[in-house]
Structure 1
Amino acid sequence: MKTTDDILKLGDPRLYEICEPVQKEELPLVKTWVKDLHEAMEDIRAQYGFGRGIAAPQLGIMKRLFYLNLDKPYIIINPKIKSPSQELFELWDDCMSFPNLLVKVKRHQSLTLDYLDENWEKQSWTVEGSVSELIQHEFDHLDGVLCTMRAVDDKAFRWKG
């Protein structure tokens, strides 16, 4: 069972690596990876009271995959962001790799996400607001970018609690 302790923490060099695409022949592994991501996210939710998504590299799985649990589970394989809005908004972002730290960032208000689902079928999803922000956060993990690197200024950090 994967737990909070399995999530890579701020400073781990793997968090700054660009992930490789998932290959079609790796599809059988995706189910196991998603189970691990789900378990780790549930443990974060239980301990810290937040968590709507987690990216594979946060568990050391260096693949372009993330998992969202919103109104239902979403398995996002090899995503591409299309048509990000010009309109931005600011928010305090949190991350499972540093669960007690908040970082003020700017994100696109809306975007379209093209990806493959767990059946290797092409999907396109247009989102806005908090789901747009969440997707940008998880997508950044696949490129080795943490929200700490997107802070709006040097005062954009605060402890939770």
Structure 2
Amino acid sequence: MKTLADLLLLGDPRLYETCAPVTEADLPLVAGWVADLDNVMREVRARYGFGRGIAAPQLGIMKRLVYLNIDRPMVLLNPELTEPSDEQFELWDDCMSFPNLLVRVRRHTALTVRYRDEHWQPQTWPVQDGLSELLQHECDHLDGVLCTMRALDAQSFKWKP
């Protein structure tokens, strides 16, 4: 079982890699990956007081998998963001891979995510506001993009005690 000690931190070169798609042949591995993601998210919540989602590459699992647990657990395999709104908003973003740093970014207010669930069934989910921002953040991880790379400017960083 992976723990907080396995979480990749800012500067780890794997965080900047593009992940491979999850294949149907990978399905027997998904439950184990999700258990690891869930465990680390719980540890981050206990230690730092935040965490709604985590992307597989944050644990060195270089697959296109996002795990969310807000009101219930959700597994998104090979998520694709489509139909981004023209309207955007700014926020201070946080990340488990650098838990004491906030980064000011701009995100789309709404979009649609298309993905496969853990049973390999195709799903479509329109999201807005906080969920839209969260999915943009997590899907960026799958492409090796961190919110530090989306900072509005050089002053868009803030330390969080």
- 1:143 is matched with 143
Partner letter of residue 135 of structure 1?
A: L
Alpha-carbon distance between aligned partners in 1 of 2:88 and 2:148, rounded to the nearest angstrom: 18
- 2:46 is matched with 46
CA displacement 1:66-114 (0-9 Å, x = unmatched): 1000111110000111100010000000000000000000000000000
Structure 1 position 3, deviation (Å): 2.1
CA displacement 1:26-72 (0-9 Å, x = unmatched): 10100000000000000000000000000000000000001000111
Alpha-carbon distance between aligned partners in 2 of 1:102 and 1:5, rounded to the nearest angstrom: 21
- 1:76 is matched with 76
Q: Are positions 1:106 and 2:106 aligned together? A: yes
- 1:8 is matched with 8
- 2:65 is matched with 65
Structure 2 unaligned segments of length 5 or more: list them: none
**How many residues in Structure 1 have an aligned counterpart in Structure 2?**
161
- Normalising by structure 1, we get a TM-score of 0.99
Q: Is the 8 A contact 1:76 1:116 kept in 2?
A: yes
Alpha-carbon distance between aligned partners in 2 of 1:132 and 1:79, rounded to the nearest angstrom: 13
Q: Is the 8 A contact 1:93 1:105 kept in 2?
A: yes
User: How do residues 26-45 of structure 1 correspond to structure 2 at under 5 angstroms?
Assistant: 26-45=26-45
User: How do residues 86-101 of structure 1 correspond to structure 2 at under 5 angstroms?
Assistant: 86-101=86-101
Alpha-carbon distance between aligned partners in 2 of 1:44 and 1:119, rounded to the nearest angstrom: 27
Q: Is the 8 A contact 1:80 1:115 kept in 2?
A: yes
Partner letter of residue 69 of structure 1?
A: N
- 1:152 is matched with 152
Q: Are positions 1:55 and 2:55 aligned together? A: yes
Structure 1 unaligned segments of length 5 or more: list them: none
Percentage identity across aligned positions? 65
Partner SS state of residue 153, structure 2: coil
Computed over aligned residues only, the root mean square deviation of the Cα atoms, in angstroms, reads 0.6
Partner SS state of residue 89, structure 2: strand
Q: Is the 8 A contact 1:3 1:44 kept in 2?
A: no
Alpha-carbon distance between aligned partners in 2 of 1:51 and 1:3, rounded to the nearest angstrom: 15
Partner SS state of residue 119, structure 1: coil
